[in-house]
């Protein structure tokens, strides 16, 4: 009888815990397994992640629409989180300048504990709601900004404090958690909850939870940049060619988009100052760089509109002008801006 009562008590406790803190039966004997058995279990569990993300696609799409609206009104996209969740936000923010030629202040990553927390765990930083408020205050948050709070557990005080402060200032708030019924969901305008099931190692949310967060952040930033005219077809036409690999990629992009040879693409890129968008319009419309830039300006940077409907306007974004007017503010919690000496800018995957 006592054993049954103890088991029932454990079940009740498990139900109170978030899914990321519960034990996974599939890995209960992990310490007895061979290397192949361990990675096989992990691989099987990882297969569940994409399906879990699929269940949240409507909420993710709503988040994309909110980000686009914010950017078009002159706002920024700001990620904030602690530990792995914070690092993933920083990573996504760091990749936007080389991939989409965005201003380094347009997509920002905040991590509890500042730059040092990117490389070494800063114990206790995530438990401070006040720190989340302080970090956002240093950014001079506005109602046009969009703040995404990333917390696998869905209950990180740093994130909740930041989301509450953002809502006070009228900014759009989005929460991303890997538990259903997450506390952070109640503090956001749009709540994304991914149920990946328990981790292979109990509580190690750097595993499936981290993988799902990376997938979701990829979707949000990528889809938003597509909607902002940073992509033509599936080509990253705003790529910043900062190294040999990206220079060659820019040439291939112009060749594919304009249907020309490498020499013509290379010459157009030289004339366009390395700007693939301008080079594409130059080749397709048979104009010089200045004319191509005017066509792109009239089309608000959308290559398709500049080519197909010269002078057309596609719901103009005001982000560049707004950012130019706003002072560059970079608190210690912002990591890896393009001007940062440790920034891996240009390190966009093939």
Distance CA 90, CA 74 (A): 21
CATH classification (class only), 54-227: alpha beta
CA-nearest of 66, 83, 84 to 75 is 66
Write down the pLDDT at residue 349: 38
Residues of 184-196 as b/e, b for ≥16 C-beta within 10 angstroms?
bbebbbbbbbbbb
Domain boundaries in the chain? 54-227, 244-324
Write down the pLDDT at residue 320: 41
Write down the pLDDT at residue 231: 96
Q: What CATH architecture does domain 244-324 belong to?
A: Orthogonal Bundle (1.10)
Kind and range of the H or E element at 73? none
Report residues of the chain scoring pLDDT below 70: 1-16, 309-350
* Residues marked as catalytic: 95, 126
Distant-in-sequence, close-in-space partners of 328: CB < 8 Å, separation ≥ 6: 105
Write down the pLDDT at residue 192: 98
pLDDT tens column, 302-312: 999 999 864 44
Write down the pLDDT at residue 46: 96
Kind and range of the H or E element at 77? strand 77-81
Distances (CA, A) of 148 to 23, 163, 219, 252, 295: 28, 8, 13, 34, 34
């Amino acid at each position: 009888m006592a054993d049954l009562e103890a088991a029932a008590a454990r079940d009740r406790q498990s139900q109170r815990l978030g899914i990321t803190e519960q034990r996974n039966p599939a890995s209960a004997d992990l310490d007895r397994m061979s290397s192949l058995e361990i990675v096989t279990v992990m691989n099987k569990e990882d297969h569940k992640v994409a399906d879990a993300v699929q269940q949240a696609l409507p909420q993710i799409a709503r988040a994309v629409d909110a980000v686009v609206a914010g950017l078009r009104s002159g706002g920024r996209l700001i990620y904030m989180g602690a530990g792995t969740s914070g690092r993933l936000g920083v990573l996504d923010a760091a990749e936007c300048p080389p991939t989409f030629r965005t201003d380094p202040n347009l997509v920002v990553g905040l991590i509890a504990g500042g730059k040092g927390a990117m490389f070494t765990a800063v114990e206790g930083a995530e438990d401070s709601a006040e720190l989340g408020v302080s970090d956002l205050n240093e950014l001079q948050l506005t109602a046009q900004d969009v703040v995404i709070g990333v917390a696998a557990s869905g209950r990180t005080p740093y994130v909740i404090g930041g989301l509450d402060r953002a809502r006070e200032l009228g900014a759009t708030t989005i929460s991303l958690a890997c538990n259903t019924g997450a506390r952070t969901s109640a503090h956001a305008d749009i709540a994304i909850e991914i149920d990946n099931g328990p981790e292979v190692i109990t509580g190690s949310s750097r595993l499936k939870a981290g993988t799902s967060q990376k997938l979701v952040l990829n979707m949000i930033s990528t889809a938003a940049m597509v909607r902002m005219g940073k992509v033509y077809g599936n080509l990253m036409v705003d790529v910043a060619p900062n190294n040999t690999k990206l220079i060659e990629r820019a040439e291939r992009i112009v060749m594919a988009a304009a249907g020309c040879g490498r020499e013509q693409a290379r010459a157009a890129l030289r004339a366009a100052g390395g700007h693939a968008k301008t080079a594409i319009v130059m080749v397709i419309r048979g104009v010089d760089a200045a004319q191509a830039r005017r066509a792109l300006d009239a089309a608000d940077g959308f290559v398709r509109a500049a080519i197909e409907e010269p002078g057309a306007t596609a719901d103009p974004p005001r982000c560049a002008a707004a950012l130019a007017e706003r002072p560059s503010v970079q608190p210690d919690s912002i990591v890896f801006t393009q001007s940062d000496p440790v920034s891996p800018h240009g390190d966009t995957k093939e």
